[in-house]
Structure 1
C-alpha cells in the first residue's frame, strides 16, 4: 500500500488499518494527543538511524516492528510492545525491528534495558500462543510461563508491566504468523532470527536497592526530615492513583503509635497456610469420628466454601480403603458369616506394619550392614460370643438368629528381630483399633462351637509359612508368626480345657473344696496340666470376678456361711444385698448385680469394677469388707492389667500373702476358681509368657463386639444380608488397620485415664538396671504419667463411662527426669520422676 505524506486517518480504526498497511519507505510516528486529534510525522527511512528502525543485519527485506516510547523519549523494551488504546501518553513508532542478536543487545544497552534471561525460549512461546484462540489466552500463557521461571514472586506493578510486555509480544508474533499464511514451518524458517534467543525482561524489572535510592534521592532532598507526614502523604496519593487503596490505608495507619505495634506483631507471626489432609489421614479421621460418607462430604464442602480445602475427595479416600483391606477375592461372605484366610490376614497386617516402620528398618539395615532381617510377629487371637444384637427384617434363604454374634479376632502385639531388636511395639494392644476380624458368625456361643472354631483356626496356624516383605532396593524382611491363644474368657477356657464345671480350676482341675487349704499348695495338688498356662490371665474378667467375690462375701457377712439355706438365711442375704445395692448406687453411682435389659448378664462390667476398686476405702466402708483386703485385690488387678513386664517371683510372693490374709478373714467362704487361678497360678502364667499379661488381654475383643452392632446400623447397606455382612466385615478391617490406627494414636491417648501405679506394683516390675551414679531418693517417689504412657485404665472397653481425667499431674519436678538406657531400637524407655507423693508410676515413650 502506497500512502502520501499528507494522508490523515479520521479515527482510530482507520489509523490501525493504516498502520497495518503502511508504506515501508517511511517511519510513521503517531502522537496520541486525544481521540480526535492525531498528530503524525513522516520521516523517510533513510534518515533514521539503524539503531531505531534500520534494516536487520543480513536480511533482504525488513519487517515492520513496534517500539513503545514514553513522552520523555525513553524506550522500555524494543521488539516487545504494541499500541495500546488505554495508554494515550505513549509514542508508537513503526519501523523494522528484526535485528540480529548483537544489534538487539546493543539497543538494550543504549536504552538501559539489560534483560534478565530465563529458561523460556521465544520459539517455544511462539509455537504455543499461535494455536490459542483469543488474545487473553495468549497473554495469560506468556505471563504464567514467565512467572514460573522467575526466582521471586511479582508485585502488582511488576504484574502490570509483564502484562503489557506479554500483550505486545503476543500481538507482534501472531501478526508475523498470519503474514506467513499460518504455516508453522514457513513461519519458523522465515522468522528464525526473530525467534532466536530468550524472552527477556528489562533491567529495571527487578530494581536493585541502589536504583531505588537513586530514584528517590531528589524526593528525600525536597522533604523535611522533621515532618515524615509529607512523604507518607505523597506515597499514599501515588498508591491510590495506581489502584492500591488498601496499601495507602496501611501507610497512613503506620504513623499512629497505637497501630505500629499491631503491625509489627502481625509481621512477626509465622504464616499459617493450611496443610491439606492426606488420604490416609482423612480416612483415619473418618474412622476416629465414625463419620458416614454423607457427613464427610458435607464437612468437606463446608471447608471448601470457606476457602480452606483441607479434605481430599471421597474418591481418594475410597482408594485408601482398599489398601487397608486384604484382597477382596479372598473374602468369603454368606448371609450369616464372613471370614478371611488367616494367612492372608497375617500377610496384609505384616506388610502394613513394615510400611509404617520403613524408616526404622532402614536404620537397622544401615547400622548392622545387612540386607535381610528375620523377624517374628507376635499376635494374640481368640473368640467370644455376644448377645443383644439387633434383629433385622431382611430376607434370608436360611433361617438363623442374628441376635447373637460369635467373633474370632486377631491383634498384632510386637514385631521383633531375631537378635532381639524390637521393630514395632503395639502401645495400645487392648484397643479396638488394633483388633482385626478373622471370622464373624451370627450364631449363639456354645461349647461345640467353641471347639469347632478352635480347630478351624489351629488348622490354619499349622500350615502357616513365613512371608517375605520388600523394604527397599535389595533389602527384605522375612517374618514368622507366633500366635497366642489368649483373647478368651473363663467360659471358653473351661471349654477348651475340657473342664465341665465352672467351679473347678481349668488349669489344675482342682475342686473348690481344696482351694482354701494352704497345705495343698506344697503337695502338688495344684500342679498345672500341660499346655494350660499359655492362655493368659483374662485381665478384664478378673476385675469383674473379684468384684463379684467381694459382693457375695458382703451379702453374707451377717450369716458368715457360703450357702444360705432356709428361708430365714435367704431373706437375710436378700435384704443385705438390696441395702448394699442402694448404698453403692447412692454414694458411688454404681449399679451392681442388676439384671440387664437383654435378658442375659448383669450390670457388673469392667468399668464398674475399676471404679469400685479404685475407691477401695469407700467401697469397703459401704460393703462392710476389710479395707486392706480390698486394697490388696486392687493391687493385684492393677499388676495384671499393667502392660509392663512383671517379676514372677515377686508377684507370686505377694499373691501368697494375699491368700494367707484372705483365709484369716473369710475362711468360711471358699475361694472361687477365678481367684484361685490368679493367686495360685499367676506366677506360672507370667513365666510362660514372653509378653506382659496386660498386652494379651481380651478387652479389645469384648469392645469390638459393641462395634459390630453400631457398624451394622450406621455403616452397612441394607439391600441384602450378604451386602450387610460384607460391609460389617470391611468396616471392622478398616478400623483395625495398624497403619491407620497409629496416625492419631497420640490424640486418642489424651482422652484415656492416666493413673499412677501403686508402690507394690512397682516393686513387682522387671525394670531395667538403673545407673549407679544416679540417686532416686526414698520410696516416697512418684513418676508423673505422660499422655503417651501405657496406663492400665483403658476406657475403650465400655461406653457407659465417658468422664476422663489425669491424676498426679504435678509438673514441679519435670527437670529431674532421668532416661534409662534403651537396649534396642523401638523398646520403650523407662523414666523416673521423683515426686512428693507415695506412689510411683512409669512413663513410656512410644517406639518409633
Structure 2
C-alpha cells in the first residue's frame, strides 16, 4: 500500500506477487510468477490425448497459461510433435482407402515402449529369463461413416464403411520354475487406451474381406521373430504370443465357413437341435474354433435379446409367429414392453437406428440384467432365469480365472431350466455356445476369459469417427488417413497410455454366485472393483 501510494505501482505489484504466491512458484527479477511444476513433453502429450484436444485447442490452452504468468506450464506444440514421432513404428503405409503397419514393426515398437517403461525391473532379472508378451487381436467393421468430399483414385471406392484390425498387449511375463512372473500387466484389458491399430481400410465387412484379412494376419503371425532390445548394456529377447479373440459372431462364422447364422460354428448343430442337450453331449467339434474365444460383450447382448424376444411371444408360445392375429398380439405386446422399459428404466429397447442396427447395445443389456425384479415385472420372464443369465455373463466378464468345472455345471443347469420353462423357443447360437461349450473355451486359454473380450475393438469405432472429424487434415484422403492412423497410434502408445489417469470405477461386491464360480479368488470381497 505504501509503494502504491507513492506511485511505484510495478514494485507494489511485484511485492504482492511475492507475498501471495504458492510455495511451488518462484518470482523472476521483474516480479512475475513462474511455476516450477511444469508438464514434460510426454506428460503434455498424455494430457492432449486424454482430453482429445486438437492442435489449436492445445495452443490456446498454453496461451491462456502464459497469460496467467505460467509460461512453462505447458511445453510448446513442436515438443509434442517430437514426442508423437516416437509413438510411430516404422514402415507405415498409407493409401487413399487404407493405412497399415507391418505386424512385426508394430509388435517390436510396442514391446520396446513397454520395456523402456519397465527398465528398472528388467535390469534386475536374470539374463537367462525367457520373456514373453501376450496380445489379443481381432478385426471388426463399422458402418455409418461420414462421406467426405474428397476424390478417390478408384471410382468404385467408398468411405461409408470402415474395417479395422487391432491388437491389445495384455501382459509381459517370464517363466520361473513352471510359474509365470508378471512384469507388466495391462490395467484395462478391455479399454481402448492400449488398442493399437494394425490396419484400417474403408471397405464393407464381407466374408471375402474377413477371410482375406485374417489370412494375411495369420501369415504375418507365422513369420514373427522375437524382438531383441538393448537396455543398460544387456540384451533382452521378447517372444510374441497373439490370441485371436477380439472378434464377433459374424467373423467367427466367416472364418469357420459357417454360412448359416442359425448354426453353431463350433459343433455345427442347428437351431432345432440346441434344445436337445442330451443329443449334443457326444458331438465332435473342431478344436481350432475354440481360438475365437467367447466374446463376452456380444454374449451379453444376445442373452438380453433372447429373453426379450421370448417375452414378446409369451402369449402365443411359438418360436415362429404365424397368422395375422398372432402377429398382432406379439406386436402389441412388444410395444407395451418397450413403453414400460422406457418409463421404468429409461431404456430404449429394440428401436432401430437410422442407417445401422438398433438400440440394443452393451450398456442396455447390462442394465437389463442389473434389475431382475423390474425386468421380471415388465416381461413376465422367470426371475431366477434372469438372475442365472446375469451371473453367467458377469462371471465371463470377470478378470479372474474361472473354475471351468463349476461353471460348466452351473451353465448346464441353467440350460435345463431354460428348456423346461421355454422349450418352445429355440435357443440362440450364442446362448448355446456359452452354456454348452463355455467350459471348453475357458479351458483353452491360460488367461482369464474376461481379459480376452472384444470391447476395446468395438469401442475403437467411436474414436475413429471422432479423430477423423477433429484431428485430421482434409486436403486429400491420404493425408486424412495418415493423420487418423497416427493419432490412433499415439492414443494407444504404451508409454503415453501409462501416464494417462485411470478412470475411477464404482466399487461394489461380486455376487456370491460369481465368487463360487471363480478359481481361488484372492481378493477382498468388500473392496473389489466391479
Normalising by structure 1, what TM-score?
A: 0.58
Superposition pairs of residues 617-766 of structure 1, within 5 angstroms:
617-744=373-500, 747-750=501-504, 752-766=505-519
C-alpha distance in 1, partners of 2:66/2:511?
A: 51
Partner-residue secondary structure (3-state), 1:380 = strand
Measured after TM superposition, the shift of residue 322 of structure 1 is 0.4
Measured after TM superposition, the shift of residue 498 of structure 1 is 1.1
The reply to whether residue 562 of structure 1 matches residue 319 of structure 2 is: yes
C-alpha distance in 2, partners of 1:504/1:601?
A: 22
Measured after TM superposition, the shift of residue 768 of structure 1 is 5.7
For 1:357, which of 114, 118, 125 is the aligned residue? 118
Partner-residue secondary structure (3-state), 2:130 = strand
1:524-549 superposed Cα distances (whole Å, 9 cap, x missing partner): 12x33121111110011011101110
C-alpha distance in 2, partners of 1:401/1:305?
A: 46
Runs of 4+ deviating beyond 6 Å: none
1:596-652 superposed Cα distances (whole Å, 9 cap, x missing partner): 111x21111111111111112111211111111111111111111111111111111
C-alpha distance in 1, partners of 2:235/2:370?
A: 48
Measured after TM superposition, the shift of residue 769 of structure 1 is 7.0
Measured after TM superposition, the shift of residue 760 of structure 1 is 0.9
Pick closer, same or farther for the CA change 1:297–1:642 going to 2, 3 Å. Answer: same
| Structure 1 gaps, min length 5 | 1-235, 251-262, 771-780, 792-848
C-alpha distance in 2, partners of 1:766/1:336?
A: 46
The reply to whether residue 551 of structure 1 matches residue 337 of structure 2 is: no
C-alpha distance in 1, partners of 2:24/2:491?
A: 35
1:616–1:630 Cα contact (<8 Å) kept? yes
C-alpha distance in 2, partners of 1:529/1:450?
A: 20
Measured after TM superposition, the shift of residue 521 of structure 1 is 4.1
Give the corresponding residue for 1:320: 83
The reply to whether residue 466 of structure 1 matches residue 226 of structure 2 is: yes
Give the corresponding residue for 1:486: 245
Pick closer, same or farther for the CA change 1:565–1:768 going to 2, 3 Å. Answer: closer
For 1:305, which of 67, 72, 87 is the aligned residue? 67
Give the corresponding residue for 1:408: 165
- Report how many residues are paired: 508
Measured after TM superposition, the shift of residue 516 of structure 1 is 1.0
1:373–1:476 Cα contact (<8 Å) kept? no
C-alpha distance in 1, partners of 2:181/2:503?
A: 25
C-alpha distance in 2, partners of 1:449/1:504?
A: 22
Measured after TM superposition, the shift of residue 659 of structure 1 is 1.1
C-alpha distance in 1, partners of 2:293/2:506?
A: 24
Give the corresponding residue for 1:528: 285
Give the corresponding residue for 1:14: none
2:507–2:527 Cα contact (<8 Å) kept? no
C-alpha distance in 2, partners of 1:549/1:714?
A: 39
C-alpha distance in 2, partners of 1:755/1:784?
A: 7
Measured after TM superposition, the shift of residue 374 of structure 1 is 2.1
1:450–1:492 Cα contact (<8 Å) kept? yes
For 1:424, which of 162, 168, 184 is the aligned residue? 184
Give the corresponding residue for 2:48: 286
| Structure 2 gaps, min length 5 | 26-34
Give the corresponding residue for 2:266: 507
Give the corresponding residue for 1:336: 97
C-alpha distance in 2, partners of 1:344/1:325?
A: 10
Partner-residue secondary structure (3-state), 2:74 = coil
Superposition pairs of residues 44-443 of structure 1, within 5 angstroms:
271=24, 274-308=36-70, 309-327=72-90, 330-363=91-124, 365=125, 370-399=126-155, 400-419=157-176, 420-443=180-203
Larger Rg: 1
Measured after TM superposition, the shift of residue 270 of structure 1 is 5.9
1:372–1:478 Cα contact (<8 Å) kept? no
For 1:446, which of 206, 217, 228 is the aligned residue? 206
Partner-residue secondary structure (3-state), 1:335 = coil
Measured after TM superposition, the shift of residue 519 of structure 1 is 1.6
Partner-residue secondary structure (3-state), 2:290 = coil
1:103-133 superposed Cα distances (whole Å, 9 cap, x missing partner): xxxxxxxxxxxxxxxxxxxxxxxxxxxxxxx
C-alpha distance in 1, partners of 2:217/2:40?
A: 37
C-alpha distance in 2, partners of 1:768/1:756?
A: 13
Measured after TM superposition, the shift of residue 567 of structure 1 is 0.7
Measured after TM superposition, the shift of residue 682 of structure 1 is 0.6
1:652–1:679 Cα contact (<8 Å) kept? yes
Measured after TM superposition, the shift of residue 372 of structure 1 is 4.7
Partner-residue secondary structure (3-state), 1:494 = helix
CA RMSD across the alignment: 2.3
Measured after TM superposition, the shift of residue 476 of structure 1 is 2.4
Partner-residue secondary structure (3-state), 1:727 = helix
